[in-house]
Structure 1
């Protein structure tokens, strides 16, 4: 729903994480060491290791570009990698011999792309979340996701794997596959296969501009237009003027499957009723009156509207406070704002 980004500084810190020794001229040392262990200890996974080698040969050394594509690629790279990688590995639940023990194929891959170590043991998970400053869940725009460290204890958002690590374990620590989000979205989405059922990809899609929230009366009861009663539903529909409305509708349906987004937003009817009531009391003339009487407090009518509804209204600020996108859409529906 809300677009997010990663700074060049964070990318450099991320790359440093995978280099075991400081001032090392080679790159991605940790990954290469684990790949070498897999090639040595698991015969059935050698074809997986060859993917990362020059000329597809174990003796030719590792291809930094292939490792970097997995670690720093985006969705276009992921789609290509999945297509190339899947034929190379056995069923992920199949048990193979690794160093004399039988473990699942997915567990072998996790030894190379170790998310547990990445997120917890070396605390990069905190660094990642703190650097990104994603204060509101980009999937639902309903929950704060602050990162805080006090007296050695940390609170941070969870990381969803846009392409699930259970299905694609080689993307488990891929930077652009990790989406800081709230626990509800992370747990709800689970192993939802976004490869087959696309949802908005927060690093590239400004999804909130492609669909909108809109009220719909139940049983032709329009009393809620006056802030009376809750006989209405909150719908998610494609925005006017967007191309490929069928495609956007399919994504909206997938958002419901993955996050129960529409169902959750219908728990916010009371919030919407307050917006409607506020829009009646604080109509255009009232906003003009406040603008005229308090020029020393407000720099613009936008600030007045945001003070009245106690939320940010315009798209550039939707990531600053929960329900900002919903507030914008309902204010637009009821004529408080025009765009």
Structure 2
């Protein structure tokens, strides 16, 4: 499955491998920290809340909640449990307990995010481009000098601490997008593991296409259709500055326009006939020359959605 502008597509084998990795991580490493939180809750008589995390199997299941409905339902259950436990208790105790939960889960997340399991899970996911912007690579390298994308908490961990290490609440993203989304309400965004701009038929479109072929400074790229998805598009522009950032790629867009003009259908057909043994289809050749990827592979190459949308727009023209 990929996010927002693009979707993170995970197959059955990937999910099974992730389940194995997170189970090992919960049972061998994370639960010792979570148990401290559970014991604190019991000591402060927050019994219903403690019951949510009083066994490894329960924590393991929380870590594998894999859709927005399940994640949202658990946030409601945990909030209701905490509110029920807070009845009859002084405000100071309630506030201190909430702070302890947040601090405790921050530590749980810190440990998880630096453990080998986090890197292995990211490698299994294979999300090589930020799903929010589709502009920056998000490679994972687990060697001497470790490199990985940042984790955006779709449901912010400051508001929903029990989901701090829920795998499908963690979105591999670039630093700019992680910072841009910050603590924004999840309801304002498409859930990366279920929906994308492609599903909503939201497209990048160029204004004044013919002029753009000659004048880079006049290139303007917009998301649309605004009439149908104006609020969603505004949210992405406010949080991630999508249109403003994409206009900085005017040199790439101009290059794409020239490539499309030079490598027209006739040229592509001619090249394909000459080198047919190297390609399984003409679409593979188009991918090589124009960078035209299928939506399922948008998470492998930056600007792949922009590229496909513009090329389709030019065909419509």
TM-score greater than 0.5 by the shorter chain: yes
Counterpart selection for 1:250 from 188, 209, 231:
231
Counterpart of 1:179 in 2: which secondary structure?
strand
Among residues 13, 18, 21, which one is paired with 1:13 in the alignment? 21
| CA displacement, residues 163-199 of structure 1 (integer Å, 9 cap, x when unaligned) | 111222221111110011111111221111214x2x1
Instruction: Work out the CA distance in 1 between the residues paired with 2:70 and 2:284.
Output: 42
Asked if structure 2 preserves the Cα contact closer than 8 Å seen for 1:157 and 1:180, the reply is: yes
Alignment of 1:1-339 (within 5 A): 1-4=5-8, 5=10, 7-20=15-28, 30-40=33-43, 43=44, 46-47=45-46, 49-53=47-51, 62=54, 67-73=59-65, 74-87=67-80, 88=82, 105-112=98-105, 114-120=108-114, 122-150=115-143, 152-195=144-187, 197=188, 199-210=189-200, 211-217=202-208, 222-224=210-212, 226-238=213-225, 246=228, 248-309=229-290, 311-335=291-315
CA positional deviation for 1:158: 0.9
Question: How far does residue 116 in structure 1 lie from its aligned partner after superposition?
Answer: 1.0
CA contact (8 A) 2:33 2:104 kept: no
Structure 2: how far apart are the matches of 1:315 and 1:50?
A: 44
Task: Tell me, yes or no, if the aligned pair for 1:318 and 1:324 is still in contact at 8 Å.
Answer: yes
Is residue 146–residue 157 contact of structure 1 (8 Å, CA) maintained in 2? yes
Decide whether the 8 Å contact of 2:63 with 2:167 is kept in 1: yes
CA contact (8 A) 2:216 2:250 kept: no
Select the structure of larger CA radius of gyration. Answer: 1
Shift of 1:103: 5.6
**Cα pair 1:52 1:66 within 8 Å, conserved:** no
1 or 2, which has the higher helix percentage? 2
2:42 & 2:214 partners in 1: Cα distance?
66
Between Structure 1 and Structure 2, how many residues are aligned?
300
Q: Is the 8 A contact 2:35 2:54 kept in 1?
A: yes
Counterparts of 2:279 and 2:142, CA distance in 1: 34
Measured in 2, the distance between the counterparts of 1:230 and 1:9 equals 48
What is the alpha-carbon distance in structure 2 between the residues aligned to residue 63 and residue 124 of structure 1? 21
- In terms of fraction of residues, the more strand-rich structure is 1
CA deviation after TM superposition for structure 1 residue 86, in Å = 2.9
C-alpha deviations, 1:112-139, integer Å up to 9, x for none? 562111112x333222222222111111
With normalisation by structure 2, the TM-score equals 0.82
Instruction: Name the CA distance, whole Å, in 2 between partners of 1:262 and 1:104.
Output: 42
8 Å CA contact retained: 2:272, 2:282: yes
The TM-score with structure 1 as length reference comes to 0.77
- Secondary structure of the equivalent of 1:234? strand
Kindly tell me: are residues 296 and 18 of structure 1, through their superposed partners in 2, closer, same or farther at Cα, counting changes over 3 Å?
closer
Q: Which runs of 5 or more residues in structure 1 are unaligned?
A: 22-26, 55-60, 240-244
Instruction: Specify whether residues 299 and 123 from structure 1 end up closer, same or farther in structure 2 by C-alpha distance, changes over 3 A only.
Output: closer
